[in-house]
Amino acid sequence: MVVLAEARATLGRRAEQALRKSGAQASFVHTDVADFRSVQRLVRVVLERFGRIDCLVNNAGVLVVGPLVRVPVAALDRVLSINLRGPMLLTRAVLTIMLRQRSGSIVNVASQLGKFGAAGYAAYCASKFGLVGFTEALAEELARTNVRVWAVCPGLVDTPMARLTGIRAHERRGLIRPESVARLVLELAAGRRQEPSGAAIDVLR
Residue 26 phi/psi, 5-degree rounding, is: -140, 150
Q: E-assigned strands of 22-162? A: 26-30, 55-58, 104-109, 147-154
- Give how far Cα 129 sits from Cα of 12, 69, 201, Å: 27, 20, 13
Known catalytic membership, residue 124? yes
How would DSSP label each residue in 176-190?
A: BPHHHHHHHHHHHHT
Helical (H) or strand (E) element with 202: strand 200-203
Q: In this structure, how many other beta carbons lie within 10 angstroms of the beta carbon of residue 119?
A: 9
d(Cα 33, Cα 147) in Å, to the nearest integer?
Answer: 21
Among 57, 109, 110, 124, the active-site one is 124
Residues involved in catalysis: 124
